[in-house]
Amino acid sequence: MSRLKDPAAVRKIARKSLFEGLDQMCEGAIIVDRDARVVWMSDKYAARLKLPSAAAAIGRTVEDVIPNSLMREVVRTGEPIMLDIMQFANDSFVVMRVPHEAGTADDPPALVLDPGTWRPADAGSAGGRRAHLETELADAQKSLAEERSVKYTFSNFIGSSAPAMEVKRQARRAAQSDTTVLLLGETGTGKEVIAQAIHSASPRAHGPFIAVNAAAIPDGVREAEFFGGSAAREGKFALAHGGTLFLDEVGDMPMAMQSKLLRMLQEGEVEPIGSNRVVKVDARVIAACSVDLRQMVSAGRFRSDLYYRLSVLPIELPPLRDRAADIDALSDHILEDIARRSGRPQRELTPTALAVLCAYSWPGNIRELRNVLEQVALNSDRPRLSAEEFTLVLPRVPRATRPGERPTLKLADIVADAERSAIRSALAAAEGKKILAAELLGISRATLYQKLSTLASGE
């Protein structure tokens, strides 16, 4: 048998490579087994602990070598302690402790490795170094917490139309339960805003909110990204422990991963790649999809049992064309944000500009509305944005014509069509109440009656 084909030899080479790498990267490193006994220690660590040699620590319990060590706790729980400060005499060090699976029954695995320590470059007094480390640690923890916190609540889902209010009603009810939620709707309708709003209004609000787009992760790393694949890399499910995992574009998950997702939902556990240990996870899943999952189930491209498990509380987000009455408020909010980020004065819409926006079909929904408003606002010097400026940006959709008749793209006709569409949308949203419709349109009741009269006589 050749040296490379001998499993024991391969493991020996791998261990040697691992140990040498840790020794080069860290100020000190130590590995313990399942009984929290030291199986390897770097020479730097041994010198730091005033041991005669690294070999003097082998076989001893970790507490016998490092008083008050937390590595036994990592062995017991299987959970890493990623950032901590350890004191050695007058020096302070940042340490991390990570569970690690390797080996066989004949070659006991090292379960915990502590890539021990690194010192700040500006070494001053012991107290100053510790204060520096504590500040860096606090900043790192704060930054991590901010990344996993939510930016949106229900107030960020702008709109008072009947469809928008119904979405918020259903989402608020979903926030009071702990079951899975399936958000359905076209791209750009605000699914992540609603997902964050549900999390922020739920009992899990103080836990992490982890968002992951299944369509944006390359196939080669997708499984590791979700379920974890190494000692130093936690999967998204583990990161969401105690909080919420927002799984966007769930329809793009491969069938093999769908079965692992189903197991996580049913059993509350995941198995990292290459590991034989099961990790318990307490994470609420909010899934989202912009395609018809039922059609995918019928086509055999999505598991029916997973679909039923995800769609316990389905919420359909309407496209922007079905909530045209909200375009005025959405535009104000977006223009305010554009002004804040650009440092330019906030713009307003003229009534005819609003009418043009309300008449457009918005296939890209709110995301497209933001793009159009940003284009016009940043290219205009006017305090009020006009219909003419928007007709130059929006795709041209000519009026229907008789056979053989040339289509017209006259601005007056486009604006007239836009006004008619906006009035109809406002009346529908106001359930026929003209006073409310006039308020939604931002015009007086007398002006609305005048336009209705003109509309009636022209049709």
Task: Answer yes or no: are the C-beta atoms of 337 and 175 closer than 8 Å.
Answer: no
- pTM of this structure: 0.61
In b/e form, how buried is each residue of 238-273, taking b as 16+ CB within 10 angstroms? bbbbebbbbbbbbbbbeeebbebbbebbeeeebbbe
Given this model, what pLDDT does residue 248 score?
95
Select from 99, 30, 90 the least CA-distant residue to 66.
Answer: 30
Task: Answer yes or no: are the C-beta atoms of 416 and 399 closer than 8 Å.
Answer: no
Phi, then psi, of 419 in degrees rounded to 5: -65, -45
Which residues lie across from 94 on neighbouring strands?
85, 118
Three-state SS string across the chain, please?
CCCCCCHHHHHHHHHHHHHHHHHHHCCCCEEECCCCEEEEECHHHHHHCCCCCHHHHCCCEHHHHCCCCCHHHHHHHCCCEEEEEEEECCEEEEEEEEECCCCCCCCCCCCEEECCCECCCCCCCHHHHHHHHHHHHHHHHHHHHHHCCCCCCHHHCCCCCHHHHHHHHHHHHHHCCCCCEEEECCCCCCHHHHHHHHHHCCCCCCCCEEEEEHHHCCHHHHHHHHHCCECCECCHHHHCCCCEEEEECHHHCCHHHHHHHHHHHHHCEECCCCCCCCEECCCEEEEEECCCHHHHHHCCCCCHHHHHHHCCEEEECCCHHHCHHHHHHHHHHHHHHHHHHHCCCCCEECHHHHHHHHHCCCCCHHHHHHHHHHHHHHHCCCCEECHHHHHCCCCCCCCCCCCCCCCCCCHHHHHHHHHHHHHHHHHHHCCCCHHHHHHHHCCCHHHHHHHHHHHHHHC
Given this model, what pLDDT does residue 450 score?
78
Given this model, what pLDDT does residue 339 score?
93
From edge to edge, which strands make up the β-sheet containing 181-184? 209-213, 244-248, 284-289, 181-184, 313-316
Cα atoms in the 13 Å half-sphere on the side-chain side of 344: 14
Select from 429, 182, 135, 388 the least CA-distant residue to 285.
Answer: 182
Which residues lie across from 87 on neighbouring strands?
92
Which residues lie across from 184 on neighbouring strands?
289, 316
Q: CA-CA distance, 203 to 183, in Å (whole number)? A: 20
User: Per-residue confidence of the chain (459 residues) as pLDDT tens digits?
Assistant: 444 456 566 555 555 566 666 666 667 788 888 888 998 888 888 888 888 898 999 999 988 888 778 888 788 777 777 667 666 656 666 777 877 654 443 444 444 444 444 444 344 444 555 555 555 555 554 555 555 567 899 999 999 999 999 999 999 999 999 999 999 999 999 999 999 999 999 999 999 999 999 888 887 777 888 887 655 567 888 889 999 999 999 999 988 889 889 988 998 888 877 777 788 889 999 999 999 999 999 999 999 999 999 999 999 999 999 999 999 999 999 999 999 998 889 999 998 899 889 989 999 999 999 999 999 998 898 999 998 899 888 876 444 334 444 444 455 666 666 677 777 777 777 777 888 878 777 788 878 877 777 765 554
CA distances from 55 to 17, 38, 45 (A): 18, 10, 11
Straight-line distance from the first to the last Cα atom of the chain, in angstroms, rounded to the nearest whole number: 92
> Domains in the chain, start-ordered, CATH in brackets?
7-145 (3.30.450.20), 154-318 (3.40.50.300), 322-458 (1.10.8.60)
Q: CA-CA distance, 447 to 438, in Å (whole number)? A: 8
